[in-house]
């Protein structure tokens, strides 16, 4: 197969940067990567990691997914507008009690996380349908399958993404276009670090004391440990995503972290939704020691998994 054009959003850091570099440095040179970001002043990190691939198998362009004009300008600059693989990665995060967050901020998050995807699909999907081929890869989250306390708005945006893609996939198959949802759990990036730093000093004056105690005393207290135990690196998620892009028959859903599989399985085991809801409620509010023990067990499993991978890579 000839070299495929990959249009990738959100490439200034994190998963987007790692995936752009991973594809651009593909040993078989199967990809030509158009790596985009809203602010080109932040291109230095990508340029440095791209190395000799820069301006050969990787080019950097400006794109703001909240602007239809910006998206169209970028796509029109691609020869014959040919996008074989679209990777929607640009996104924002939001954590905290819902009463502490402004509706304007919520709308801003949805404008990027959900409507940014919709704008890209509206621009590129018709071309893919005419070509009767293409692959739309969407960076979703396990929080698009299972809600998490104090991630209400972020989770809602990912649920919207999942529903949109699940509906669109039915039409896409008719035209030979694949859609894949990538669903990581926590990913250790500077973006996530900044998000939690901002949450630690956010205005919580509208929040009642009991909720405040839960947010600060439980959620914020354990979030760092959860990221340490369950978190993946951007390179890990990028490698999983690259495998989906290169798959002969790409899956519709792909979870990058197998430690989250029991959580999503629990949800589908009970059509009423009570089983996972009650399980998480008890773990958080009634069985604090069980939660700690579960983290310790997961930490051990993660350590063994990484050790086994390390052994397998040894000569």
Q: Count the neighbouring beta carbons within 10 Å of the beta carbon of residue 297.
A: 11
CA angle 243, 93, 43 (to 5 degrees): 65
Is 84 known to sit in a ligand binding site?
no
Is 22 known to sit in a ligand binding site?
yes
Is 33 known to sit in a ligand binding site?
yes
Is 17 known to sit in a ligand binding site?
yes
Angle between helices 14-24 and 234-246 (to 10 degrees): 50
Angle between helices 220-230 and 190-200 (to 10 degrees): 170
Is 28 known to sit in a ligand binding site?
yes
Q: Look-up: residue for tokens 């209400």?
A: 152
Contact 275, 209 (CB under 8 A): no
Residues belonging to the active site: 154
Contact 117, 182 (CB under 8 A): no
The span from the CA of 285 to the CA of 18, in Å, is 37
Is 61 known to sit in a ligand binding site?
no
Is 297 known to sit in a ligand binding site?
no
Is 27 known to sit in a ligand binding site?
yes
Is 34 known to sit in a ligand binding site?
yes
Binding residues: 10-38, 64, 141, 158
Binding region for NADP(+): 10-38, 64, 158
Residues of each annotated binding site for substrate: 141
């Amino acid at each position: 197969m000839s070299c495929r054009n990959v249009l990738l959003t959100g490439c200034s850091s994190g998963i987007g940067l790692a995936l752009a570099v991973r594809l651009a440095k593909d040993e078989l040179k199967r990809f030509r990567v158009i790596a985009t970001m809203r602010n080109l002043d932040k291109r230095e990190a990508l340029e440095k990691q791209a190395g000799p691939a820069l301006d050969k198998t990787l080019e950097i362009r400006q794109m703001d997914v909240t602007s239809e004009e910006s998206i169209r300008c970028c796509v029109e600059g691609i020869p014959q507008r040919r996008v074989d693989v679209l990777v929607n990665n640009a996104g924002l995060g939001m954590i905290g009690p819902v009463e502490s967050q402004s509706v304007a901020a919520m709308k801003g998050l949805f404008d990027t996380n959900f409507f940014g995807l919709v704008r890209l699909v509206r621009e590129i999907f018709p071309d893919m349908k005419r070509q009767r081929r293409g692959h739309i890869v969407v960076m979703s989250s396990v929080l698009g399958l299972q809600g998490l306390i104090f991630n209400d708005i972020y989770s809602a945006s990912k649920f919207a993404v999942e529903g949109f893609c699940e509906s669109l996939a039915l039409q896409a198959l008719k035209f030979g276009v694949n859609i894949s949802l990538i669903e990581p759990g926590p990913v250790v990036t500077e973006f996530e670090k900044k998000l939690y730093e901002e949450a630690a000093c956010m205005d919580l004056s509208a929040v009642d004391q009991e909720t405040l105690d839960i947010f600060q005393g439980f959620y914020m207290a354990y979030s760092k440990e959860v990221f340490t135990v369950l978190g993946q690196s951007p390179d890990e998620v990028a490698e999983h995503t690259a495998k989906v892009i290169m798959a002969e028959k790409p899956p519709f859903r792909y979870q990058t972290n197998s430690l989250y599989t029991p959580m999503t399985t629990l949800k589908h085991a009970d059509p009423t939704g009570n089983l996972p809801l009650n399980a998480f409620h008890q773990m958080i509010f009634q069985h604090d020691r069980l939660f700690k023990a579960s983290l310790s067990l997961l930490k051990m499993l993660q350590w063994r998994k990484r050790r086994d991978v390390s052994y397998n890579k040894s000569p």
